[in-house]
Amino acid sequence: MNKILKRAFMPSLLAASLAGVSLFPAQPASADDKILEDVGIGAGVGAVSGVIRGRNVIRGAIKGAGAGAAVNGANGLRGTRRERQNRNIIQDVGVGAAAGAVTDGIINGGGDTLGSAAEGAATGAVINTIRKKR
């Protein structure tokens, strides 16, 4: 009996789910149009910080890129373009620091959390400064 029900209902459920997905698409998740620039700025700040601190430059660039993406995402959630231009430096630094610490936990297992938070905070400050000028 169980196989009969599966054979009867599975094709119709599959067709209904495909129709629902294709006919009623949800709004796609979108970041700010400056996401790649912020990731690049973050990677640059992280790489420079890695050189200055005598750490791994590639890991520093990855942590900085993660912080740049997080800062962009935090400001991309604001509604209008004007609101995104009125950035809050404390928010950008805080989000960058948190993202730097989290990225360090993912990459290094939390080897240098405080230093990574400082790198992320620097990334947030640099992005805030660059974006306010534009």
- The pLDDT tens digits for 7-33 are 665 565 444 444 444 444 444 445 557
Looking at residue 87, its pLDDT comes to 77
Q: Please tell me the distance from the alpha carbon of residue 121 to that of residue 68, in angstroms, as a whole number.
A: 10
Apex 71 CA angle, 65 and 72, nearest 5: 90
For residue 88, what are the CA distances in angstroms to 40, 44, 131?
A: 20, 22, 11
pLDDT digits (tens, 9 = 90+) for 51-85: 998 888 998 899 999 999 999 888 876 555 565 56
Q: Are 66 and 75 in contact (CB under 8 A)?
A: no
Looking at residue 8, its pLDDT comes to 60
Alpha helices per DSSP H over 77-112: 81-85, 89-107
pTM: 0.70
Q: Please tell me the distance from the alpha carbon of residue 17 to that of residue 69, in angstroms, as a whole number.
A: 33
Tokens of 24: 């009623």
- What is the share, in percent, of the chain residues with pLDDT greater than 90? 33
